Amino acid sequence: MKKENILGDDIGFIELVDSLGNDLTIVNSARVSFGTRSDWKYEEVTDWQDGGKTAITYKRPSGLKKKDKELVKYLGEHKHFSPYRHVYLQFHVKMPETIAREFYKHCIGADYTFKDHAWNEVSSRYRPMNEFHTPQSLRKQHEDNKQASMDECVENYDELMKMHADLLEHSNKVYQAWLDAGVCKEQARYNLLFSFYTEFFWSASLQAVANFIVLRDHPSAAKEIQLYARAMKELAMSVSPEGLTALLENMK
Ligand SMILES: Cc1cc2nc3c(=O)[nH]c(=O)nc-3n(C[C@H](O)[C@H](O)[C@H](O)COP(=O)(O)OP(=O)(O)OC[C@H]3O[C@@H](n4cnc5c(N)ncnc54)[C@H](O)[C@@H]3O)c2cc1C
């Protein structure tokens, strides 16, 4: 599953590449304390084949049983977070370097006994960087909050973006000239603007994902990372809706 065009310039995306576990994993990680195990609630489904002549009836999972939903909620309310950490998600993210630096601060992935999560990123030592984020609007600096922006935009967008386009063109020209002159990529990149798109794989537990969403899908976070956090929430909800909801309600 992939959410594309996150910043409106048709470049960035966040994709759920893989996942381990789901709502039932959380339930059974907790139920092992009692030496028990639960299963999905099943619903009976009928498919008609041979042009509607033959009925094939089978059962398919239709979510958690009521008592298991209550258990997932209970665990969140009482901050028994370890069962949620058995659910693991792997994302492929493409975003401007400016926000990737903020993303990188989320360094706890699987379990608090491990310091690091798994993070692998494209290298500007190996590959020339040639995609840049172009803001679709220019928001005003927030009047009360030193780090934030307001929804209101400046009026002279065209004029300011022309200046930006000139700067970008010049920076790319010098970057290319250095490469053409045989300078290594690891030094030529000093000419690049910070708006270049980077991409990385980030694997993290459901709890770490929830922590990211709580902090970044929040008005105090940069607008651009809020958009990624919302897309991540939608993707993570497809894996563990009960688990993520319980975490988000109780981690604030
Ligand atoms: C609005 C905003 C503004 C920010 N501004 C700045 C800034 O100006 N400069 C800057 O450098 N950073 C800034 N940050 C980044 C911030 O300081 C955090 O590094 C980042 O949000 C990651 O959060 P985290 O530490 O909860 O995540 P993770 O590192 O993923 O940790 C997840 C959770 O694990 C637990 N944990 C982690 N490490 C330990 C430990 N050693 N011992 C015990 N428990 C642990 C904590 O409960 C933590 O919440 C900002 C963040 C936000 C949201």
Mutate to test the pocket of ligand 1, among 91, 105, 107, 202 (most ligand atoms within 8 A of CB): 105
pLDDT on residue 110: 41
List, for residues 5-22, the tens digit of each pLDDT value. Answer: 999 999 999 999 999 999
Residue 106: CB within 6 Å of ligand 1? yes
Q: Which atom of ligand 1 is nearest to the CA of 109?
A: 30
Q: What is the pLDDT of residue 114?
A: 46
- Model pLDDT, residue 63: 95
User: For ligand 1, atom 25, which residue shows the shortest CA distance?
Assistant: 106
Looking at residue 116, its pLDDT comes to 55
Cα of 81 to ligand 1 centre, how many Å? 18
Ligand 1 pocket, residue 112 CB under 6 Å: yes
Residues lower than pLDDT 50 in the chain: 110-115
Cα 68 to Cα 63: distance, rounded to the nearest angstrom: 10
Position 156 scores a pLDDT of: 95
Query: Which residue's alpha carbon is at the smallest distance from atom 32 of ligand 1?
Result: 108
The pLDDT value recorded for residue 119 is 80
The pLDDT of residue 132? 95
pLDDT at 112: 42
Q: How far is the CA of 105 from the centre of ligand 1 (A)?
A: 6
Q: Which of 85, 101, 127, 216 is catalytic?
A: 216
Is the shortest distance between the CB of 221 and ligand 1 below 6 Å?
Answer: yes
pLDDT at 52: 87
Structure confidence at residue 109 (pLDDT): 59
Per the annotation, the verdict on 125 as an active-site residue is: no
